[in-house]
Amino acid sequence: RLLSNPRDELQRFRLSLLWIGLDQSTPVRIAFSWIIFLLFAIVLPVINSVATSCSRCYHRQLPFERLVYVSESALAIVSFACLSFLLRRHGLRKVLMLEKLDRESQEVQQNYRAKVNFAFRLLAMIILPSMVVKLVREIWWFSRATVALPGIPHGPALRSVMCTLVMLSWLYKAGVFLLMCVLFRLMCSLQILRLQGYSTLLAKSLDVPELLLEHVRIRKQLFKISHRCRIFILASMFIITSSQFISLFFILSYKESVHFFIAGSLAVSSAVQLSGILTCMNGASKITHRAQKLISLVSEWHAVWTCSAMTSDFNKPAFKTATPPCYPLLRQQSDIKACDLFSAKSQDSHYDNECYFRQQQSFLRYLQHNSPGISVYGFVLDRGSLYTLFALELSLVLWILGKTV
């Protein structure tokens, strides 16, 4: 499943999954993937926590290091489990719902390729600065620390190897978590493009059954995304929020001075976690905002058509073939005249005005009670939830950064 269509627009994504050890297309690669995961997400952090100490330092052990390891490993476990399940059961193209992308408009296909390229730039913008800061802090620590492993002589070579392994472990855990966040954002990006295309369809088509069927199709796809990713979103929000509050209590109860080299890993971990969860929430809230805008457009369409019909002569034959004007909100010009807004053009129609009015009214009520969006067990992720989570997490992260940097 993972290696199908290697020359498509997801080639870079497939290579990333391959290099990070998430290619589970064969039994051998599944075993290799789990070995890599257990080694970098669990075994190496435990070995580093037990075997590394600093006899020359005031603190023999870094006070916040184990908390960082627990939160990072917990996020890596959740992300790895979700990625493994989705890729093995559905495959990459079905997870992103690209199996019918060729049926979409050319504009949607081009914009989605741009979204895929931007996703990797976003991943690099989060990983690279964090990796530089993490590397500086680890070099400082291992230049002073002592690594004690049974049967292996102490020395600079062992410290260098352990420093490299710790960096690889951090890169793996952060990469798995952020890759799942980027994958979720890509799922949302395609649906946002489809909702934009649906807005264009509303401006062109007057066939209410066609509009209803297209809306039902988009809503089913959003339901699939919500169902597949709800555990990841909920678990990530719980782990990140809990780790931030625990870090806050640890720093407040710490008696000595806190600086970057003592709590630098905590600052880097908090920044990466905040970036990842906001990436997910941003993609989900855009879908909800776009869906709410559709309701506004259809409400305006219905109001304009009703007012136009009410001002017409009900006994004229032209009234029975009147069609609603285009959406004012969908027009590019800002100087929309009232005569353009409320004029109705005569053309052949399959329905009379009363039937068409009832179809519009039913369609509007359907949209009001079935607004699509990403939800977590019935709770819709909109901009209100995004702002609330952003304010909470950012205040905690900035407080931690203020104490450590």
Number of folded domains in the chain?
1
**Per-residue pLDDT reduced to its tens digit, 244-299:** 888 888 887 777 777 777 778 888 898 899 899 888 888 888 888 787 777 777 77
Distance CA 250, CA 66 (A): 12
The answer to whether residue 242 sits within a structural domain is yes
* 222 neighbors 287 (Cβ within 8 angstroms): yes
- The listed range with the strongest mean pLDDT (320-324, 343-347, 394-398) is 394-398
* 232 neighbors 184 (Cβ within 8 angstroms): yes
**Any bridge partners for residue 346, and if so which?**
322
Instruction: Give the residue from 61, 120, 124 showing the smallest Cα distance to 265.
Output: 61
Range of the domain at 163: 11-100+109-192+210-285+375-404
The answer to whether residue 155 sits within a structural domain is yes
The answer to whether residue 333 sits within a structural domain is no
Instruction: Give the residue from 164, 131, 134 showing the smallest Cα distance to 147.
Output: 164
The answer to whether residue 166 sits within a structural domain is yes
The answer to whether residue 225 sits within a structural domain is yes
The answer to whether residue 299 sits within a structural domain is no
**Per-residue pLDDT reduced to its tens digit, 113-131:** 788 888 888 888 999 999 9
**Per-residue pLDDT reduced to its tens digit, 6-57:** 445 677 777 878 877 787 778 888 888 899 999 999 999 998 888 887 766 5
Phi, psi (rounded to 5 degrees) for 339:
-70, -30
pTM: 0.80
For position 319, what pLDDT does the model report?
Answer: 40
For position 403, what pLDDT does the model report?
Answer: 65
Distance CA 156, CA 97 (A): 50
- Between 103 and 327, the more confident residue is 103
Q: Per the structure block, which two tokens stand in for 28?
A: 């051998």
